[in-house]
C-alpha cells in the first residue's frame, strides 16, 4: 500500500503557491455514485476531501447534513461499507473522515484508526471529542499516522486556543459561527475574528468551516484564513440528485472564486 | 456517607466525562464554576429552599400503602413526589437550575422533554423567574402528551416539535444541544436528567438529593430503620439517583427499573452520546438505537453515567419490565390505593408486583416520581375504554 498523502503538506502546497486551500465535505455512502463524486470534487480543485461517516445523533450538524446522514444510513451505509468503498481508490488528493466519537469508540480506537489508514485516509475530525477527552484517540491515531484535526470555536478562550493549535494536526478547523453546520445568508463576523485569532498564534494552516455557503463567503473568509471548508452547500447539491460532474462544477465555482479574488 | 462526587474530569469511575463540541466546552466550564460557587453560597441555598418549600410544596410525604401491602405481602411505602407542584420530581432540579441561570445572567432557558414533565417544570420556573423558555419535544411525544404541550404554551413557553430521527426524547436532546450551540451566550441549557456532559449528571443529582434526604428521615420515623429495598424507575435516572442518594450508605437494596424497550444497562454496552460515556443501546457500528416504551419519559436509549457506575460496582441493581406489566401496575395502584401513578413510576411498581415472592415480608420504598394525569388519555386508548 502506498503511504497516505499527508493533509498538512497538501494544504501547504496550495498555500505556499500564494493560493487559498479548499476542503470539500461530502457524505459517505450518499447515492450509488458517491465515489465518482469524490473524484469529481478533487478534479474540480479540492485540496482535501472530508468524507462524512453518518452517525445517528450528529449534534454539530444542521438539517442538510442530518438528512444526508439519514439517507445514507437508510441505504445501508455503515462505517465498514464506506471504508471498504474507498479501499481500492487512489484519490489524487488526501482524505479526512468526519464523524462522531462513538463510532470510533465502538469499533475500538486502534482498530478504527488502522481501518482509516488501510482505506487510504489521512486525517480524522471528531467534533464531539474536545481536548480533555482526546488522549486515548490521539495516541491510536498517531500509531496509524492519522492526523487529528481539532476544532476551535468563537467561544474558545485564548489560552485554550493555544492548546488546540498545539495538538491539532493537518490543519486547525476554525468554526466560523455559533451554530451547527449549514448555509447562512451572509458570513458571520465571528468567522474572520476566529480565523484572525488563530493566525496570530499558530503557523499551522487555519481553515474556516461552518457557514461557508457561497463562493463570495469563501472569498471573504479567506481574507484572513488560509482556506475554507465547504460542506452543506455541496451535500445539498448531492441531495438534489446532481451528477458527480454537476457537483464538480459547483466545487469549481468555489475554486475559481478563490483563485481569482484572493 | 452519601454518593461520591465525580472526579475532576467529571467521571464516576470510568463513566461520565464531557464529549461535546468545542463551542460548548467553555460554557460547561462556566456552568461548573457557577454551580460550585452557588452551592457553597448560603443565600442561594436559602432562596432555593424557600422556593422548594413555599412554592413547590416540599417536603413531600411518605405514604404507607395499607391495601396494596396486604395484597403483595410486603410493607410498601411511597415517596410522594407526585404531590410536588407540576406533578413530578422534575421541579426540584428545574428550580435549582433556573435560579442558577438567573445568577449567571442568562435570559433564556432551553430544555428537552419526553413526557413533558420536565418541559412543564422548566416552563413553570421560567414563568416564575421571568425567563424566556424554549422546549424541544419529539413529534411522537407532542402527539401522545398533548395536554402537557398545552400546559407549556399556557405557561408562556415555545414548544418546538422535533421531526428528526426517533422523534422522541433522544432527538429532542439533539435539537436542544444544537440550539445551545447556536445561542450559548444568552441561553442556559436546563437539562432534565442526570445525564449529559459534566457537570450536569452531578449537578442534577445534587438538586434531587432532597428526595433521598427527606425519605431517609421519614423512613426512620415510620419504620424506625431504613427500608429493605428502595426502588425507582430509570430513564435518564434522575428520580432514582435522588432517592438512592439517601440510602446508598445503608443496607437497603437499591433497584432501578428500566423499560424493556429502553434498557440501557440491561441491554446496552458502553458508548458515548449526548456528552457522556455510559451504557447505551446501540448497534454493532455504534449507531444509537431508538428506544421503544409506552412511557415517553423513559423512552431513551441511554442512562445517566452514575447509574452505569452504581451498576458496575454492584451497589445498585437494574431490572426491566414490559409495557404490559406496566399497564397492570398502573391500574393496580389506582384501584387499591386511590393513586393514579405516572407511567414512569408504574415501572417500579410493576417490578415490585412481579417480584412479590422475593419481597415477601420486606419493607419496600418506591419513589412515586409523578402523577398519572398526563397519561390518562393514553391509557383510555390502550384499555379501549
3-state SS record for chain B: CCCCCCCCCCEECCEEEEECCHHHHHHHHHHHHHHHHHHCCHHHHHHHHHHHHHHCCCCCCEEECHHHHHHHCCEEEEEEHHHCHHHECHHHHHHHHHHHHHHCCCCEEEEEECCCHHHHHHHHHHHHHCCEEEEEEEHHHHHHCHHHHHHHHHCCCEEEEECCCCCCHHHHHHHHHHHHHHHCCCEEECCCCCCCCCCHHHHHHHHHHHHHHHHHHHHHHHHCCCCCEEEEECCCCHHHHHHHCCCCCCCCEEEEEEEHHHCHHHHCEEEEECEEEEEECECCCCCECCCCCCCHHHCCCECCHHHHHHHHHCCEEEEEECHHHHHHHHHHHHHHHCCCECHHHHHHHHHHHHCHHHHCCCEEEEEECEECHHHHHHHHHHCCC
Query: A105 vs B286: CB contact, 8 Å cut-off?
Result: yes
Cis before A211? omega within 30: no
Q: Is A150 on the interface with B (CB under 8 A)?
A: yes
Considering only alpha carbons, which residue of chain B is nearest residue A131? B22
What chain A residue is nearest to B24 in terms of C-alpha separation?
A: A155
pLDDT, tens digit, 9 for 90 and up, residues A158-167: 999 999 999 9
DSSP letter at A229 equals: E
Across the interface, whether the CB atoms of B23 and A175 are under 8 A apart is answered: yes
Contact between A55 and B22 using a beta-carbon 8 Å cutoff: no
Contacts of A161 in chain B (CB under 8 A): none
Q: Does B360 touch chain A (CB under 8 A)?
A: no
Q: Quote the crossing angle between the two packed helices A189-201 and A158-167, to the nearest 10°.
A: 70
Q: What average pLDDT does the segment B321-338 reach?
A: 98
Query: Is A101 in CB contact (< 8 Å) with chain B?
Result: yes
* Residue B68, C-alpha cell as written in the block: 396494596
CB B276 within 8 A of CB B196: yes
Query: Domain A7-261 is in which class?
Result: alpha beta
The contacts of residue A228 (CB under 8 Å, 6+ apart) are: A20, A21, A22, A23, A207, A208, A209, A212, A218, A221, A222, A254, A258
Which residues of B belong to the active site?
Answer: 65, 89
> Which residue of chain B is at minimal alpha-carbon distance from A102?
B272
Residue among A61, A147, A220, A226 flagged as catalytic: A61
| pLDDT (0 to 100) of residue B2 | 83
* Residue B144: predicted pLDDT: 83
Chain A contacts of B22, Cβ < 8 Å? 127, 130, 150-153, 155-156, 164, 175
* pLDDT, tens only, B172-205: 999 999 999 999 999 999 999 999 999 999 999 9
Cα(B227)–Cα(B247) distance, rounded to whole angstroms? Answer: 9
Question: Would you say residue B46 has pLDDT above 90?
Answer: yes
Query: Are B181 and A66 a contacting pair at CB < 8 A?
Result: no
Say if the Cβ atoms of B21 and A79 lie within 8 Å. Answer: no
- Residue A5 scores a pLDDT above 80: no
Report whether A167 contacts A139 (CB < 8 A): no
DSSP conformational letter for A95:
E
Phi-psi region of B85 (alpha: psi -120 to 50; beta: other; left: phi over 0): beta
| B70 Cβ neighbours under 8 A, 6+ residues apart | none
B176 vs chain A: nearest CA distance in angstroms? Answer: 9
Q: What is the pLDDT of residue B166?
A: 85
pLDDT at res. A39: 98
pLDDT of residue A207: 98
Of chain B, the percentage scoring pLDDT greater than 70 comes to 100
In angstroms, the Cα distances linking B325 to B77, B294, B350 are 20, 11, 6
Domain ranges across chain B: 12-51+89-200, 57-88+209-382
Pick the closest to residue A214 from A175, A242, A244, A187 (CA basis).
Answer: A187
Taken in order B81, B83, B86, B87, the sign of the CA dihedral is positive
Nearest chain A alpha carbon to B166 = A56
Q: Which of A180, A184, A189, A190 to mutate to test the interface with B (most CBs of B within 10 A)?
A: A180
Kindly tell me if the per-residue pLDDT of B123 is higher than 50: yes
Backbone φ, ψ for residue B92 (5° rounding): -60, -50
Q: Quote the cell numbers at residue A207.
A: 481553515
pLDDT interval class at A2 (50, 70, 90): very low
Question: Cα separation of A105 and A85, whole Å?
Answer: 22
CATH class of B57-88+209-382: alpha beta
CB contacts of B25 in chain A (<8 Å) are 130-132, 153, 155-156, 160
Q: Which of B19, B29, B177, B288 to mutate to test the interface with A (most CBs of A within 10 A)?
A: B19
Reported as type and span, the H/E element at residue A44 is none
Interface touch A106/B26, C-beta < 8 Å = no
A1 has a pLDDT exceeding 50? no
pLDDT digits (tens, 9 = 90+) for A78-110: 999 999 999 999 999 999 999 999 999 999 999
> Are A180 and B178 in contact (CB < 8 Å)?
yes
Nearest to A211 by CA among A25, A15, A36, A5: A25
| The C-alpha cell that represents A205 in the structure block | 494552516
Q: Over chain A, what is the mean pLDDT? A: 96
Taking residues A177-201, what's their average pLDDT? 96
Task: Decide: A149 and B7 in contact? Cβ < 8 Å.
Answer: no
Is it true that the peptide bond before B59 is cis, omega within 30 degrees of 0?
A: yes
- Is residue B279 within 8 A of residue B302, CB to CB? The reply is yes
B12-51+89-200 placed in CATH 3.40.50.1100 = yes
Mutating which of A105, A176, A177 best tests the B interface, going by the most B Cβ atoms within 10 A? A105
Kindly list the residues from chain B whose CB atom is less than 8 angstroms away from the CB atom of residue A78.
285
Q: Which three cell numbers stand for residue A190?
A: 465571528
Report CB contact under 8 Å: A153, B23: yes
Assess B181–A contact: CB distance below 8 Å, yes or no.
yes
Q: pLDDT at position A4, please?
A: 47
Contact call for A80 and B23, based on CB within 8 A:
no
Is the complex ipTM higher than 0.90? yes
Contact across the interface for B285 and A56, Cβ inside 8 Å: no
Q: Which pairing describes strands B15-19 and B11-12: parallel, antiparallel, or unpaired?
A: antiparallel
What was the pLDDT predicted at B225? Answer: 97
pLDDT of residue B1: 54
Contact across the interface for B9 and A107, Cβ inside 8 Å: no
Query: Scanning every residue of chain B, which has its alpha carbon at the shortest distance from the alpha carbon of A158?
Result: B26
* A55 close contact with B: CB closer than 8 A: yes
Residue boundaries of the structural domains of chain A: 7-261
Give chain B positions within 8 Å (CB) of A175: 21-23
Which residues on neighbouring strands pair with residue B193, listed in sequence order?
none
| Residue among A150, A176, A149, A177 nearest A161 (CA) | A150
Q: If you average pLDDT over residues B65-85, what whole number do you get?
A: 98
Examine domains B12-51+89-200 and B57-88+209-382 and report if their fold is the same. yes
Amino acid at each position: 500500500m502506498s503511504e497516505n498523502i499527508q493533509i498538512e503538506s497538501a494544504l501547504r502546497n496550495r498555500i505556499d503557491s500564494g493560493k487559498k486551500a479548499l476542503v470539500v465535505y461530502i457524505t459517505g455512502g450518499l447515492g450509488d455514485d458517491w465515489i465518482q463524486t469524490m473524484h469529481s470534487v478533487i478534479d474540480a480543485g479540492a485540496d482535501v476531501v472530508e468524507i462524512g461517516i453518518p452517525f445517528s445523533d450528529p449534534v454539530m450538524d444542521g438539517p442538510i447534513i442530518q438528512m444526508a446522514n439519514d439517507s445514507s444510513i437508510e441505504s445501508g451505509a455503515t462505517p465498514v461499507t464506506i471504508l471498504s468503498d474507498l479501499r481500492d481508490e487512489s484519490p489524487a488528493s488526501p482524505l479526512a473522515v468526519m464523524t462522531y466519537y462513538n463510532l470510533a469508540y465502538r469499533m475500538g480506537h486502534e482498530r478504527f484508526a488502522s481501518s482509516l489508514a488501510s482505506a487510504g485516509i489521512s486525517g480524522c475530525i471528531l467534533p464531539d471529542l474536545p481536548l480533555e477527552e482526546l488522549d486515548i484517540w490521539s495516541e491510536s491515531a498517531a500509531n496509524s499516522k492519522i492526523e487529528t484535526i481539532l476544532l476551535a470555536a468563537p467561544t474558545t478562550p485564548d489560552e485554550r486556543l493555544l492548546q488546540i493549535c498545539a495538538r491539532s494536526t493537518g490543519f486547525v478547523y476554525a468554526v466560523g459561527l455559533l451554530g451547527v453546520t449549514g448555509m447562512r445568508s451572509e458570513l458571520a463576523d465571528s468567522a474572520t475574528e476566529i480565523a484572525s485569532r488563530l493566525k496570530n498564534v499558530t503557523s499551522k494552516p487555519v481553515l474556516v468551516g461552518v457557514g461557508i455557503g457561497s463562493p463570495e463567503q469563501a472569498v471573504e473568509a479567506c481574507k484572513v484564513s488560509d482556506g475554507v471548508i465547504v460542506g452543506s452547500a455541496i451535500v445539498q447539491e448531492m441531495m438534489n440528485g446532481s451528477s458527480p460532474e454537476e457537483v464538480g462544477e459547483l466545487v469549481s465555482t468555489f475554486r475559481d472564486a478563490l483563485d481569482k479574488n484572493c | 456517607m452519601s454518593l461520591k462526587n465525580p472526579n475532576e474530569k467529571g467521571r464516576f469511575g470510568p463513566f461520565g466525562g464531557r464529549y461535546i463540541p468545542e463551542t460548548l466546552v467553555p460554557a460547561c466550564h462556566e456552568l461548573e464554576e457557577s454551580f460550585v460557587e452557588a452551592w457553597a453560597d448560603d443565600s442561594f441555598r436559602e432562596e432555593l429552599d424557600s422556593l422548594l418549600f413555599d412554592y413547590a410544596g416540599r417536603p413531600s410525604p411518605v405514604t404507607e400503602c395499607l391495601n396494596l401491602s396486604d395484597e403483595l405481602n410486603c410493607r410498601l411505602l411511597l415517596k410522594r413526589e407526585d404531590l410536588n407542584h407540576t406533578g413530578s420530581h422534575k421541579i426540584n432540579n428545574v428550580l435549582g437550575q433556573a435560579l442558577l441561570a438567573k445568577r449567571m445572567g442568562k435570559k433564556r432557558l432551553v430544555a428537552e422533554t419526553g413526557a413533558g414533565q420536565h418541559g412543564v417544570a422548566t416552563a413553570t420556573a421560567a414563568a416564575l423567574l421571568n425567563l424566556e423558555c424554549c422546549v424541544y419535544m419529539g413529534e411522537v411525544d407532542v402527539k401522545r402528551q398533548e395536554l402537557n404541550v398545552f400546559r407549556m404554551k399556557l405557561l408562556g413557553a415555545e414548544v418546538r416539535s422535533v421531526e428528526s430521527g426517533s422523534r422522541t426524547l433522544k432527538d429532542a436532546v439533539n435539537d436542544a444541544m444544537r440550539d445551545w450551540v447556536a445561542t450559548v451566550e444568552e441561553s442556559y441549557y436546563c437539562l432534565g436528567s442526570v445525564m449529559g456532559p459534566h457537570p450536569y449528571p452531578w449537578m442534577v443529582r445534587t438538586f434531587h438529593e432532597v428526595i433521598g434526604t427527606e425519605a431517609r428521615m421519614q423512613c426512620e420515623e415510620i419504620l424506625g430503620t431504613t427500608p429493605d429495598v428502595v426502588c425507582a424507575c430509570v430513564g435518564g435516572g434522575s428520580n432514582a439517583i435522588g432517592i438512592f442518594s439517601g440510602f446508598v450508605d445503608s443496607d437497603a437494596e437499591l433497584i432501578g427499573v428500566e423499560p424493556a424497550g429502553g434498557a440501557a444497562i440491561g441491554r446496552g454496552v458502553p458508548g458515548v452520546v449526548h456528552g457522556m460515556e455510559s451504557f447505551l443501546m446501540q448497534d454493532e457500528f455504534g449507531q444509537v438505537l431508538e428506544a421503544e416504551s409506552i412511557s415517553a419519559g423513559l423512552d431513551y436509549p441511554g442512562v445517566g453515567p452514575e447509574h452505569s457506575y452504581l451498576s458496575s460496582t454492584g451497589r445498585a441493581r437494574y431490572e426491566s419490565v414490559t409495557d404490559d406489566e406496566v399497564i397492570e401496575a398502573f391500574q393496580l395502584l389506582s384501584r387499591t390505593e386511590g393513586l393514579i401513578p405516572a407511567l414512569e413510576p408504574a415501572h417500579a411498581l410493576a417490578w415490585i408486583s412481579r417480584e412479590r415472592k422475593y419481597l415477601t415480608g420486606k419493607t419496600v420504598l418506591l419513589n412515586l416520581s409523578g402523577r398519572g394525569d398526563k397519561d390518562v388519555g393514553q391509557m383510555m386508548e390502550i384499555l379501549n375504554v
